[in-house]
Structure 1
Amino acid sequence: MRRGISAVALAAAVALGATACGGGSGDGDAAAKDPASVSGSITYWDTSDATNEAPAYQALIAQFEAAYPKIKVHYQNVPFGDVENKFKSSAQSGKGAPDVMRADVGLIPEYASLSYLAPLDHTAALTDTGDFLPGPLNTTQYNGRTYGVPSVTDTLALLYNKKLLQQAGIAKPPATWDELIADAKVLKERTGAAGTYVNPDTYFLLPLLFGEGADLADPKAKKITVNSPQAVKAVTMAKKIYDTSSLPVDFANAYDNMQAAFKNGKVAMLIQGPWSVPDDLTGSAFKGDEANLGYAPVPAGSTGTAAAPTGGHDLVVYAGSKNLAASYLFTRFMTSAQSQRFIARKNGTLPTRASAYTPEVLKDPKIAGFRPIMKTARNRVSLPQVGSLFVPLQQEYVKILQGQEPVAKGLDDAAGQFRKLLPGFTVG
C-alpha cells in the first residue's frame, strides 16, 4: 500500500526538486542543440521480462551506443514487482537511483508529486508528440507538466473464443454488458461453456465504472465518487455478471484459474489485456489455432461508450540525474518510432506512436487486434494516491461479489477509506 509522505521524505523531495531545477537547463540545451557533443554515462532500469523481453531492449541499447559513442549506458533489469519501492527508496535518499527508468503509467503522478522526476517539456526527450496515441501520451501528465515519454502501451479488451460463439449461434461479440449476459446464457445452454470469468481484481472493474461515466474520484472537484449513483450502477452490473454469467471464482487463485479456464475452452469470453495472449495460445482452445482468438472492445455500459484503462510503461528521467543531457537523448532514442517498431517486432508489445504501426508490425495478430481497441483507452484518475485507492476498493468489491454486503454499503465503506487517503476531498 502506498502511504502518505513523511516529513523527512517531503523535505528530501523539496531539496531534490530544487537541485533538479537548478542544474537541468544547460544539459537540456546541449542535448537539443548539439547531441553529438554529449558524453558521459547513465544507468537505465528496465522492468521488462528478463527472459523474453529484455534481450530486445539490450540490443536497442547497443544501437544507441553505436549512434552516440560518447555515451555509455549501464543496463540493469529490475523485477517489476520490486522497482517501485527500490526507486522510491533510492530517490528519497539521493543514492543509487537510475538516470532513466521504465515506469508503470499508473505511478507517474505519485513519482511526480514527490519531485522524483524531471519535467520533460521543452527537452530533447520529448519530440514529435503529435505522433503519440492520445491515451499513452495522457499518462505522462501531472499538474500540467510532462514527466514521461510513452514507451509501450496496452488496455483491456474482450477476448473471445470464436468457435464457441459460432457453436452457440452468436454472430458477433457482445457490445454491451446486457448482451454479454444474454450471450452467456445461450453459450451455457448450447456449448456447456461459461460465458465469462469475473476477475475480482478492481483494475478489471474499471471498464464497468467508465461505461457508466463513473470513476474513483474527481481531482478537480476534490470529490470522492466511488460511491456515486453511477458507480453503484456499475458495480451492480458487475455483481449481476458474476451471479449469472461467470464460472465460479476461486478468490485465492483467481487470475491463474481464469486463464486456465479461458485458454482451455471452459470460458468463452474474458476481459483481459495483450499480456495474456502468449499464455492463451498455449491452451487447447488456441494452440495451433491462433485465428480462433478474437479481439473486441470491452462492452459498453448504459452511456453507450466502451472505455478501458490505459496501461503500459513510460520512460522517466530521474530529477537528480547528473547527466540530464544523455538521459534526454537516451529517452528520445528508446521511444522513437524506429525503436518502437523494433521492440514491437521482437516482443509483440503495442507501440505508443501511430507511425510505428506499420504493415510489418501489424502482421502480429495480437497487435492488429488491439490496435483499434486502443481508441477506447482512457486514463485512470490522475492522483498520487491512485494505487492506494485500489486496496480498500478491492476489499469491499470481494465482499460484494461474495454476497457478504450490498453494493451501496460496500462502496460507501470504500469511500470512507478513501477519505483517509485523500485529505481535503469530500464524498460526492
Structure 2
Amino acid sequence: MRRGISVAAVVGVLALTATACGGDSDGGGDSNGSKDPGKVSGTVTWWDTSNEAEGPAYEKLVKDFEAKYPKISVKRVPVSFDAAEQKFKTAAPSGKGAPDVMRTDVGWTAGFANLGYLQPLDGTPALDGKEDFLPGPMSSAKYKGETVGVPQVTDTLGLIYNKKLFKEAGIKNPPATWEEFIKTAKTIKARTGVAGTQLNPEGYFSLPFVYGEGGDMLDVKDKKITVNSPEAVKGIETAVELVKSGVSLKPATTDGYVNMQTSFKDGKVAMVVNGPWSTADDYTGKSFKDKANLGIAPIPAGSTGKAAAPIGGHNYTVYRGSKNKDASYLFVKFMTSAKSQQYTATEIDTLPTRKSAYTKQVLSDPVKNSFYTALGQSKSRPMIPGVGDLFVAFDQHYVKILRGQVTPKAGLDALAEEWQTKLIKDYEIAK
C-alpha cells in the first residue's frame, strides 16, 4: 500500500536521492559497505529511543564499538519514544538533523521506508549472519522485498498467571486453548472467589483471539481489509464471552492496561495476556514478592488448534541520506551481534533477535526462557505505512465491543469501514 505523499515529502525524497548519489569519503551514497572496515572513519549519530534505565548498557556497547573501530565515533542521542517517529519525519525530508542510525519501532519501519527515508541493507555488513535472526523479528524488518532494518530486540504476548491461585483452585497446568482458558477462569472464580482474568481493551491485545480462529487484520497481498471476517468475529466473540460470563473483570474505558496490571499484581485476577516488558512491574506487586509465583505460558490456541500472538520490538535502521553509511553499517552489525544481544539480555532483560544469543545463561532466566518459547508462535503485524493509525481506531471500537455497547460483528464492521474510508482508501473490505 502507498498512501498519498505530500509535495514537500516528495521533494524531500528527491533531495535524499540526490544526496545519496553524491557519495563521500566515508562510503556515503548507496555504499554496500565493501570498504575495508579498518579504514572506515566518521561519526555516527544514533537516535536511541530506549528508556533511561537502559541507557548505561547501551553507552557501554558504544564504548566497546569505538574501541574496536578507533576511527569511528558514535554520538548517542537519547530521544523520547513518544516523540521519535514525528521527529524523524520532520528531520528526514530536508536531509538536516536526521540521525545516521535510529532505533525504530517495528510499527514505524514500513512507513519510513515508504517515504524513501531508509537505506536498503541487503548485501551490507549490517546484515552479516542474516540467517541467525529469528524469522518473526526478521519479517518486521522488510518492506516490498527489501530489508530496511536489522532486528534489535523483540517481544510477543504470552499468558501470565498466578501459580498460587492455580494451586488453590486445584489446577495443575495453564490452559492450552481459549476453551480451556474459559473453563480455567470459571474454576478459579468458583473455588477462590478471584476473577479469572481481565482483558486489556486495546486492539493489539485482541489479536491472539483473532489469530486463533485463522483471522487477521488485513490481507496485504490482495489489499483487502479482513478485520471483520467471520474468523475475526469468532475470535472477538471469545473475548466477549469472558466478560459476559463474569469470569473477567469488566475492562476500563480508560487506562485499560494500567487497570489490568494493577488487578493482576494485587492478586485480584489470576491470568492476563501480556508481554515480557510487564514482568518487572509484576514483581513489584504484593502477589509476586516471591518471583517463583509468576507463571508464563504460550498464548492459548483457538478452535483451529493453532495459536499465534503479534510480534513487537525494534529495528536498527540507517537513514538513506546519511553521509556515514559504511560506519553506520559497522555500528549496526556490532550492536546486533550475538555477543551484544547476550549482554543486553542479561544486563537489561531484553529479548534477543538472534538464535545464537539464546545461550544457557540467557535461558536460565525463566522469563526469557518462557518468552523464547512463545516467540515460536509469533506472527508479524501487517507491514504497511500508518499501521499505528489502524490501532488507534481499533482501540476505540474494541473497548465498545468488550463493554457490550455493540456486538462483535457490528463493531468490527464499523472498524473496517473507518479504515477503508479514512486510513487505507486503496484497500477493499473483503466480502
Q: Normalization by structure 1: what TM-score?
A: 0.96
Counterparts of 1:396 and 1:260, CA distance in 2: 23
Is 1:268 the equivalent of 2:265? no
**How far apart are residue 259 of structure 1 and its match?**
0.8
Letter of the 1:272 partner, please give it.
Answer: N
2:11–2:93: 8 Å Cα contact kept in structure 1?
Answer: no
1:31–1:38: 8 Å Cα contact kept in structure 2?
Answer: no
Letter of the 1:133 partner, please give it.
Answer: L
> Residue by residue, what CA displacement relative to the aligned partner does 1:93-113 show, whole Å, maximum 9, x if unpaired?
322111001011111111110
Aligned residue runs from structure 1 range 96-135, under 5 A: 96-135=97-136
Is 1:423 the equivalent of 2:425? yes
Task: Report the more deviating stretch, 309-318 or 238-247.
Answer: 238-247
Q: Tell me the residue number matched to 1:369.
A: 370
**How far apart are residue 162 of structure 1 and its match?**
1.0
Structure 1 ranges of 4+ moved more than 4 A: 24-30
Q: Tell me the residue number matched to 1:11.
A: 11
* SS class of match (1:94): coil
2:156–2:276: 8 Å Cα contact kept in structure 1?
Answer: yes
1:286–1:292: 8 Å Cα contact kept in structure 2?
Answer: yes
CA pair 17-179 structure 1, distance change in 2 beyond 3 A = farther
Q: Tell me the residue number matched to 1:354.
A: 355
CA pair 30-135 structure 1, distance change in 2 beyond 3 A = closer
**How far apart are residue 30 of structure 1 and its match?**
7.6
* SS class of match (1:196): strand
* SS class of match (2:342): helix
* SS class of match (2:332): helix
**How far apart are residue 197 of structure 1 and its match?**
0.7
Letter of the 2:240 partner, please give it.
Answer: K
**How far apart are residue 22 of structure 1 and its match?**
5.7
2:27–2:35: 8 Å Cα contact kept in structure 1?
Answer: no
Counterparts of 1:72 and 1:324, CA distance in 2: 13
Letter of the 1:210 partner, please give it.
Answer: Y
**How far apart are residue 82 of structure 1 and its match?**
1.0
> Structure 2, unaligned stretches of length 5 or more?
none
Q: Tell me the residue number matched to 2:192.
A: 191
Counterparts of 2:409 and 2:142, CA distance in 1: 33
Q: Tell me the residue number matched to 2:76.
A: 75
Aligned residue runs from structure 1 range 325-336, under 5 A: 325-336=326-337
Letter of the 2:288 partner, please give it.
Answer: F
Counterparts of 1:21 and 1:199, CA distance in 2: 48
Q: Tell me the residue number matched to 1:92.
A: 93
Aligned residue runs from structure 1 range 49-68, under 5 A: 49-50=51-52, 52-68=53-69
Q: Tell me the residue number matched to 2:172.
A: 171
Counterparts of 1:358 and 1:276, CA distance in 2: 22
CA pair 284-142 structure 1, distance change in 2 beyond 3 A = same
Counterparts of 1:303 and 1:23, CA distance in 2: 53
**How far apart are residue 380 of structure 1 and its match?**
0.1
**How far apart are residue 33 of structure 1 and its match?**
4.0
Counterparts of 1:29 and 1:8, CA distance in 2: 26
2:12–2:94: 8 Å Cα contact kept in structure 1?
Answer: yes
Counterparts of 2:98 and 2:332, CA distance in 1: 16
Q: Tell me the residue number matched to 2:254.
A: 252
Q: Tell me the residue number matched to 1:311.
A: 312
**How far apart are residue 18 of structure 1 and its match?**
4.9
1:274–1:366: 8 Å Cα contact kept in structure 2?
Answer: yes
Letter of the 1:37 partner, please give it.
Answer: K
Q: Tell me the residue number matched to 2:235.
A: 234
Aligned residue runs from structure 1 range 34-53, under 5 A: 34-50=36-52, 52-53=53-54
Report how many residues are paired.
Answer: 425
Is 1:278 the equivalent of 2:280? yes
> Residue by residue, what CA displacement relative to the aligned partner does 1:305-361 show, whole Å, maximum 9, x if unpaired?
110011111100011101101011000000000110111111011111111111112
CA pair 38-417 structure 1, distance change in 2 beyond 3 A = same
CA pair 17-225 structure 1, distance change in 2 beyond 3 A = farther
* SS class of match (2:34): helix
Q: Percent identity at matched positions? A: 54
Q: Tell me the residue number matched to 2:382.
A: 381
CA pair 47-26 structure 1, distance change in 2 beyond 3 A = closer
Letter of the 1:267 partner, please give it.
Answer: V
Counterparts of 1:411 and 1:165, CA distance in 2: 34
Counterparts of 1:389 and 1:12, CA distance in 2: 26
Letter of the 2:5 partner, please give it.
Answer: I
Aligned residue runs from structure 1 range 390-405, under 5 A: 390-405=391-406
> Structure 1, unaligned stretches of length 5 or more?
none
